Amino acid sequence: MIINTRDFGHVEISQEDIIYFPEGIYGFENTKEFVILKIDDETQFYCLQAVNEVYPRLVITNPEIIMPGYSPAIGKEILDKLGAKSPLELRFFVVAVIPANIRDITVNLKSPIVLNIRKNIAMQVVLDNTDYKIRHRIFSESEGG
């Protein structure tokens, strides 16, 4: 099927690419179907694009490139909601906010998007009892640029 995207015009996707968010994403609770589109081959940033509309399109990334070893504990209740038997079926993404000054980019490590890679079901999970921040800077403020 062909979808209309915010950044790449018309893009062909297959039915198997569609990720179902039963609860939507915070702020976009009514949008249930998204696809992950690669921005390029070099960076691990992706567009989380709504399937049926141009908006919303969020920018997400692999948290491993920002915080190696990032693997928050996911409880049974969340595993059940995602239809996952084990945390090994999960993959994490984090939402990035990219302001005009790129060096002020932040990622939300406190509430990752958790994807069941086997079933393509995902949700945004709020981690309790962590020091992870909703706006975690990638570049420190003191660095030039």
CA distance 33 to 18: 6
- Regarding 124 and contact with other proteins (CB under 8 A), the answer is yes
- Regarding 97 and contact with other proteins (CB under 8 A), the answer is yes
- Regarding 36 and contact with other proteins (CB under 8 A), the answer is no
Per DSSP, the three-state class of 12 is strand
Which residue among 19, 36, 111, 116 contacts other proteins (CB under 8 A)? 111
Per DSSP, the three-state class of 33 is strand
For residue 88, give the amino acid letter.
L
Find the binding residues for other proteins in span 3-22 (CB under 8 A). Answer: 6-7
- Cα Rg for the chain, rounded, in angstroms? 15
- Regarding 69 and contact with other proteins (CB under 8 A), the answer is no
Residue 70's closest CA among 44, 34, 101?
44
- Residues near other proteins (CB under 8 A) are 6-7, 25-28, 39-40, 42-43, 45, 47, 55-60, 95-100, 102-103, 105-106, 108, 110-111, 124, 126, 134-135, 145
